[in-house]
Structure 1
């Protein structure tokens, strides 16, 4: 029995393959191997041999050795999604000969972490079933180029005779029969494969002869889903796929898409094995991942805008700039535009994450922030009320409630998810010659309609009921109300359920000149700032510190989105510890009957706690509650809410293709 060595492709901690956070690799579906949690950027060749594959996104490299081992190095998890700005630099190409330990490129670990992906490097011997008797990884700290595993090769008699002429003829013959019966090569747009299926994108599925293909020797079944004509093959799928691509030509195949399809199928298999509670946890984690992942591209801009809005609040508080002056209007537009038009940006980023068309979802966001729609929501004539909603418009005579969607994100994420389901169906039923016009037309109409006519009113009704309950609790006990609002207000913000509280605050200030409720809301902002401040001071990861410090300033300036979506919510426990701090701050604010005479909250809004009739205890109560708020959220987060290990272990959002998966 021959023994060969695989060297580590990067410096870091070598871990068992079954512990990597990717079900395709951890379940051994890509073969035996190991993972490395890297701490340096340099990537080296793991074997001596030939480069057989370099992914277009540079995240995966294939090698073949003289012994026939086919080795895949996968740089990071879900990094295929970073195709617009790949964090990799490679100095090799297909066909190059390399020696084990040769430097072949680098991966930008900080950029991958900033994008919300995991940096884990995975090595897998993809033809393990044919070649490998045993693979023994050397766990622990490892240097790039040092031995990472020893591999015992199978004896010659154990090898699967894949190279014989008869076997090759079998797959070539099956590929020919399949191509003939799907309408010929002229009917094929492209082809990929997953773990069990060859998946064709056909110009006209009606030309395919389903029954004939089902009865071909080597074919298990035929399925149609997601705009694909799927021929179920089983374990020999890669052989049949290779034979198909050889006959169609290399321009028809897509190895990157095939790898993603395999990951989709593996994730669906993993879902089937979960218990109901695991499915609930996974679904909630996936939702949080989609929310934070959709916000990441604009987090830096939100932080900068939050700081600018804080500066503007100070300028107006100290009467340096009038709120009616053109100077104020211009600076406010600079700071407020990203929030006002947030549905457009979130629609675009959520669509990329979930697999719908980013441009179409950006247009849907434009519909929701269209001035006339915003005007109906804010100043439209209210004709009646239903379930706590103001009926302020009609649609073909049907009375409806039009809500305001500026500053909101959840309706757009829900819309992007719905579009990911709707779009493949539209492409299947609409003839090709009409798709360019009618697919985007119907998507915009249907998704906008669902949000405006159904989702918005549902959120409004829920938030109205919550607001009514909060008011009742406050009337019974300000301290208990402060505890509840302080602990859960930012959760309401995530799902857009906080909007019903804002009119209550506005009405309080308009009618009485002050708002006890707004003072409690302010405490939740301080808590988010205290938590992200702890992370900024504790973390040694450069990308985290670069985001956490601006997010801290933004939160203390009254804008919590960068702290929440960029850091606290993304790393889970930090959001919980921040919410505990908010509960304590809100409790003290209610207990001391802290009052507020302005809208601007958090630390930057300290002048809002000055009674126009003369300084009273509300000002000092605000500082006491805020100080305790910061101490609690900072301490809990520093001790229990975050560690740099969370950056590597954070569960990212499901890849957009996962949510579009149909029958596997």
Structure 2
């Protein structure tokens, strides 16, 4: 019997059984079930199980929070479910279930599936950039020397070739061939593509005199190629939008040619039609949409950093509970990947530290040994930006504690926003503070501000908890 067999049997039974499950995915700490009938769920049994933190309906799914071992549990559960066989009938059921979701729920679910598999390597690359920045700051290495070049290559490899990685995860999410997704992503970042498509003389200007004015340097069979000056290296949105449409194109191609020809001609027709369509249509659309979204958030920030910080800082942790925080994270990642800096993710940097401070206060005040036992691993998880154990184990069950974490995060976000702090690498977890060091100059001024914001966040959250604590 496997390590998680009993737990998985228990979960399956209490979400309504195998026949009630039409789809299963997972993120960092949660199993995400798509169910036929959520009324069959025995939530009381789930939340009272010692290995389950909580269970809830959110974002059109039923989420069972099991902690950092979620992938092992997920892999052990799949063979127990009929969906692992993925029949046509089951796919049809999933499609019907998907149709019931709101557009927002489907969008968030999609972003979650695409981004989540990259988080581990993203954190690893970001920590390497943090180490590089520290070495530059302490004059151990200098920009341009061999050590700097190699560390820089490792750290930025993910972002530089992000379209290839997201081509793979997007294709899997949209039930397409992941290798087609990788080739589409690779075509977008192909060497010399930018120089070849934007390096010649300007033929004419498209949308001349508007905010969308674009210089046209080349054409494809007479059609203008709207290609960004920086290319699609490091972009997020274009490849996701492209693979959404290409997955449908791939299925269409499969439907009109004999199965005996699928092996060769499905990739051939999908790529020869899909890549030009991506460069001519989907890429420009995605770039405009991404720019408009980023501009809207930047506009709020420009209008009032205080309002933007309070809004983002206060709402981020509630969004995590609902699984609705991924679009916010995706925008931050896109800013970081395309411009090299981001102003959005720094405003949520202190969220796990607010949780840690509240949990530490509870640890000091409580006389309940079972609560103390939960606090220590929860604080360790907070250190690495995994806040669900603290939320579901300590802060959310006593609502005022949860409110104190939101207040503390908002205070930290306010300090960071007012100082116009930007990061240069993904700033996930305490170790991510190295991402606030400018890797080119070694300037550490943002680190000092973030450290101040962190102390303020933790002080506010800790003191509010310690002075209002009640064992009841």
User: What is the TM-score of this pair, normalised by structure 1?
Assistant: 0.45
Name the structure where helix makes up a greater proportion of residues: 2
Which of 241, 258, 269 lines up with 1:442 in the alignment? 269
Gaps of 5+ in 1: 1-8, 41-76, 78-108, 125-254, 507-517, 553-562, 637-664
Question: Corresponding residue for 1:395?
Answer: 219
Question: Corresponding residue for 1:74?
Answer: none
Aligned residue pairs: how many? 385
CA distance in 1, matches of 2:460, 2:309: 16
Work out whether residues 523 and 629 of structure 1, in 8 Å CA contact, stay in contact via their aligned partners in 2: no
Change (3 A) 1:420 1:478: closer
Shift of 1:315: 1.0
Q: Deviations over 1:496-532 (max 9, x none)?
A: 89549965x98xxxxxxxxxxx6x4463352365479
Work out whether residues 33 and 123 of structure 1, in 8 Å CA contact, stay in contact via their aligned partners in 2: no
Q: How does 1:528-607 map to 2 (within 5 A)?
A: 530=353, 551-552=384-385, 584-591=411-418, 594=419, 599=424, 603-605=433-435
Shift of 1:307: 1.1
Q: Deviations over 1:582-619 (max 9, x none)?
A: 6543433344xx2569856853255559x999x99x87
Question: Corresponding residue for 2:59?
Answer: none
Shift of 1:308: 1.0
Shift of 1:400: 0.9
Shift of 1:312: 0.5
CA distance in 1, matches of 2:281, 2:179: 23
CA distance in 1, matches of 2:407, 2:205: 39
CA distance in 2, matches of 1:304, 1:461: 30
CA distance in 1, matches of 2:301, 2:89: 53
Q: Deviations over 1:402-456 (max 9, x none)?
A: 3643334443333333333222221222245644433212212333233322232
Q: Deviations over 1:114-135 (max 9, x none)?
A: 26849779999xxxxxxxxxxx
Matched, 1:494 2:330: yes
Change (3 A) 1:379 1:523: farther
CA distance in 1, matches of 2:158, 2:306: 35
User: What is the TM-score of this pair, normalised by structure 2?
Assistant: 0.60
Question: Corresponding residue for 2:175?
Answer: 355
Q: Per chain length, whose mean CA-contact separation is higher, i.e. which structure has more relative contact order (CA < 8 Å, sep 6+)?
A: 2
Q: Deviations over 1:287-316 (max 9, x none)?
A: 434433334444332222121111001111
Question: Corresponding residue for 1:523?
Answer: 346
Question: Corresponding residue for 2:149?
Answer: 329
Q: How does 1:90-239 map to 2 (within 5 A)?
A: 113-114=70-71, 117=74
Which of 231, 245, 263 lines up with 1:418 in the alignment? 245
Matched, 1:369 2:369: no
Q: How does 1:439-518 map to 2 (within 5 A)?
A: 439-469=266-296, 473=300, 476-483=303-310, 491-494=327-330, 498-499=334-335
CA distance in 2, matches of 1:444, 1:308: 35
Q: How does 1:31-42 map to 2 (within 5 A)?
A: none
Shift of 1:369: 1.9
Change (3 A) 1:346 1:18: same
Matched, 1:314 2:134: yes
Q: Deviations over 1:186-235 (max 9, x none)?
A: xxxxxxxxxxxxxxxxxxxxxxxxxxxxxxxxxxxxxxxxxxxxxxxxxx
SS of residue paired to 1:371: coil
SS of residue paired to 1:20: coil
Shift of 1:328: 0.7
Shift of 1:625: 2.6
Work out whether residues 526 and 629 of structure 1, in 8 Å CA contact, stay in contact via their aligned partners in 2: no
Shift of 1:361: 1.0
Work out whether residues 533 and 549 of structure 1, in 8 Å CA contact, stay in contact via their aligned partners in 2: yes
SS of residue paired to 1:324: coil
CA distance in 1, matches of 2:442, 2:70: 48
Q: Deviations over 1:468-514 (max 9, x none)?
A: 555655555443354467678974551589549965x98xxxxxxxx
SS of residue paired to 2:350: helix
CA distance in 1, matches of 2:186, 2:372: 38
Work out whether residues 532 and 551 of structure 1, in 8 Å CA contact, stay in contact via their aligned partners in 2: no
Work out whether residues 304 and 550 of structure 1, in 8 Å CA contact, stay in contact via their aligned partners in 2: no
Shift of 1:632: 7.5
Work out whether residues 532 and 548 of structure 1, in 8 Å CA contact, stay in contact via their aligned partners in 2: no
CA distance in 2, matches of 1:320, 1:495: 34
Change (3 A) 1:316 1:620: closer
Gaps of 5+ in 2: 22-34, 52-61, 317-324, 361-370, 397-402, 428-432, 465-472
Which of 5, 17, 20 lines up with 2:16 in the alignment? 20
